[in-house]
Amino acid sequence: MQTDELFMRKALDRARLGEGKVLPNPMVGALIVRDGRILGQGHHACYGGIHAEAAALRDCREDPKGATLYVTLEPCCHRGEGKHNPPCTDAILKAQISRVVISRLDPNPAVSGRGAGILRQKGVEVHCGILEKESARLNRVYETLICTDRPYVHLKAALTLDGFLAAADGSSRWISGSESREKVMAFRSRCDGILTGRGTLYADLPSLTVRHPDNSHRNDPQPARIFLSTKGHIPGDWEKPGGPVLVYHDRSVSQPGCPESFQFTPVPAGENGLSLPDVLSDLRRRGIRQLLVEGGSRVYGSFIRSGLWDRLTLFIAPVLLGEGIPFSDGLDIGSITSKLHLKDVSSVPSGDDIMIDGYREALSCLPA
Amino acid sequence: MQTDELFMRKALDRARLGEGKVLPNPMVGALIVRDGRILGQGHHACYGGIHAEAAALRDCREDPKGATLYVTLEPCCHRGEGKHNPPCTDAILKAQISRVVISRLDPNPAVSGRGAGILRQKGVEVHCGILEKESARLNRVYETLICTDRPYVHLKAALTLDGFLAAADGSSRWISGSESREKVMAFRSRCDGILTGRGTLYADLPSLTVRHPDNSHRNDPQPARIFLSTKGHIPGDWEKPGGPVLVYHDRSVSQPGCPESFQFTPVPAGENGLSLPDVLSDLRRRGIRQLLVEGGSRVYGSFIRSGLWDRLTLFIAPVLLGEGIPFSDGLDIGSITSKLHLKDVSSVPSGDDIMIDGYREALSCLPA
């Protein structure tokens, strides 16, 4: 068992090499081992590239017949439209691997236990659940994308100890320190789109770009900049270099906006503003898979009230304001017993601030 | 130098043995060392007891003549009313100690460099500032008490991530988890008085006592329970076993309160409620040296606005409420540039919560 964990940890390290390169696919790593010796290893290196199992088999310097395969996610067993690779179960059986150790079953409904089942049927010894939590944590974004038709929604905010986004006069630069702002740049560089509301846009005129610490733009493609603006208004003097600009507005507003380079999209609107399910499914259709939401109060409130979020990162600065703009415009929670509890919470210092990270849903894993 | 740090660290360990027993005196530890060998050691063990230097000299098994004295606070050099001990400088000179290493100069205006000066004048080699920060940290309460005529004021609150003390309906049990509530019991057991406002008293009917985890009372003397209630009102059904009850009310209210066992004290009141300087100097006169302030919003607001506080401990729970009772009723801060920055901030996990600790003033030490 300890040996299995040891090799699975190595497979997880391989999987991580795919970070930022494989979405909407999962990060996966694989190792082929015989008598405690690694014969081959591989990982899923880029979207459309070969799977980790195939890469590990190809890497073998000797015949892997009778060896053990360690793989961080259940091998796929299906063919399908848009799928670039043949089933890994076929390759494993063909190579006559005799034992397969899997960290986590694939939540993809097209696999979801069927991959492991096929291998077992053909007489392969299969173990599941080794370091499952680590594998699940690695692929939170993938797991959300496979089960929903919206982007993975990551809310991020900088707050004072007493829960304010900004002072009473709207000023908010800066609540958090430079280390926290650098971490935000790392979040931005990993997302496809940054969303903010009309209020924040007018108050801060943010450029919403990925920048180096010296404030220069990176060469990587910039994430899309997405605004929720019921009437389709954008400040006249806001047109900054960066990613494409998408503006969502109330479909009952007939002639919104200004610059032609901005894409205006009408969506239904209700009392609480624009319909988030419509905005999100449109974003997903446009290829936005990881969405970073950067305020303000109304936007955080709508996302949380509607349950359309996955991760919340708060940079809490050791300062007090006493009054100001609250984190959200309300969550319809009247009593302490109904409080919203973040799941899988972690906290780390971030310069003088504390970065608190939590999720809407806890990772569900097999009992260890 | 490294040797000096080593022995000073041991002296600091000795000093800590006085925790909770010496106030309003400082915790002090001392070591007498010759040729790397400890000849004697001692600490200030209880209020009125002998000083650390005298204890260390008495502990020596051989003549300390020519040895080095390590002491965490500058030796005293004064006699005075209410002072129980003779000047330590005399004892040091009499014992013919040739070198004195001091961690921190005593901020007591009656000493404050004079102790070190007298020793130097008499030809003793004196070094100051070794591990000064540790010594200063140890005696934060003493240092406040020596420089003011009020108690040391420690504000403590449990908050949601979005900065609320309670939900919109006033319910607040429980925002923080059991580990945090145990830490609060430790704070209570170290203070002489627990203060809360009328609003919290009526909303929560708190007993404000030191209890064991099984909810039974501790045998140690219970801290005083102090209420700020402008009109002198106390809930009719609130009379719980515990420490003595002090109620501060507006002096213009003629006939306040009910139970005779409660002590009612009139103080001036203004627009923002009762005069805190009057409340605090009366508390100090009554022997309250460490005051723990446990809410609510109005009380936190008044203490912070008036600058009459020393330490703030927040238990931040990983929950959101969206709306509710804010931490304070305002701090008169309009813009982000005027934000109140806590000093010497630290944070540690406390069960699922995070305990954030900060001070109104940073420790001022000699440059290291």
Rounded Cα distance, B125 and B68, in Å: 9
Q: Which is the catalytic residue, given A53, A132, A134, A294?
A: A53
Please tell me which residue of chain B has the smallest CA distance to A326. B162
Rounded Cα distance, A93 and A69, in Å: 11
Residues forming beta bridges with residue B312, ordered by sequence position: B155, B358
Residue A149, token pair as written in the block: 């038709």
The predicted structure's pLDDT at residue B254: 77
Query: Using 50, 70 and 90 to split pLDDT, how confident is the model at A351?
Result: very high
- Cβ–Cβ < 8 Å for A88, A51: yes
pLDDT digits (tens, 9 = 90+) for B179-210: 999 999 999 999 999 999 999 999 999 999 99
* Chain B residues whose beta carbon lies within 8 Å of the beta carbon of residue A330: 322-323
Q: Report the pLDDT averaged over residues B87-104.
A: 96
Name every residue whose Cβ is closer than 8 Å to that of residue A105 and which is 6 or more positions away in sequence. A73, A74, A111, A112, A113, A115, A116, A128
CB contact under 8 A, A318 and B345: yes
Query: Using 50, 70 and 90 to split pLDDT, how confident is the model at B80?
Result: confident
pLDDT digits (tens, 9 = 90+) for B319-335: 999 999 999 999 999 99
Query: Using 50, 70 and 90 to split pLDDT, how confident is the model at B220?
Result: confident
Helix ranges (H only) for B21-83 are 52-59
Residue B76, token pair as written in the block: 């005293």
* Chain B residues whose beta carbon lies within 8 Å of the beta carbon of residue A177: none
CB contact under 8 A, A320 and B331: yes
- Give yes or no for residue B348 having a pLDDT over 70: yes
Residue A188, token pair as written in the block: 């931005």
A321 touches chain B (CB under 8 A): yes
The predicted structure's pLDDT at residue A286: 96
pLDDT digits (tens, 9 = 90+) for B19-67: 989 999 999 999 999 999 999 999 999 998 999 999 999 999 999 999 9
How many C-beta neighbours within 10 Å does residue A202 have?
A: 15
If you compute the radius of gyration of chain B from its CA atoms, what whole number of angstroms results? 23
- Cβ–Cβ < 8 Å for A268, A228: no
> Which residue among B322, B331, B341 sits closest to A318, beta carbon to beta carbon?
B341
Residue B322 is given by DSSP the state S
Residue A41, token pair as written in the block: 């290893």
* Chain A residues whose beta carbon lies within 8 Å of the beta carbon of residue B338: 167
Residues of B assigned a catalytic role = 53
**Host H or E run for residue B145:** helix B140-147
Q: Report the pLDDT averaged over residues A112-118.
A: 94
> Which residue among A319, A324, A341 sits closest to B318, beta carbon to beta carbon?
A341
The predicted structure's pLDDT at residue A132: 95
User: In 3-state terms, what secondary structure has residue B293?
Assistant: strand
How far is the alpha carbon of A169 from chain B, nearest alpha carbon, in Å? 6
Instruction: For chain B, positions 164-183, list CB contacts with chain A under 8 A.
Output: 164, 166-169, 171-175
In chain B, DSSP assigns E strands to 29-34, 37-43, 68-73, 99-104, 125-128, 152-160, 164-166, 193-197, 224-228, 245-250, 263-267, 269-270, 273-274, 290-293, 311-317, 319-320, 325-326, 340-341, 343-350, 353-359
What number is the ipTM of this complex?
0.91
- Give yes or no for residue A368 having a pLDDT over 60: no
- Cβ–Cβ < 8 Å for B307, B280: no
In this prediction the pTM is 0.92
pLDDT digits (tens, 9 = 90+) for A265-318: 999 998 889 999 999 999 999 999 999 999 899 999 999 999 999 999 999 999
C-alpha distance across the termini of chain A, in Å: 12
- Average pLDDT for chain A: 93
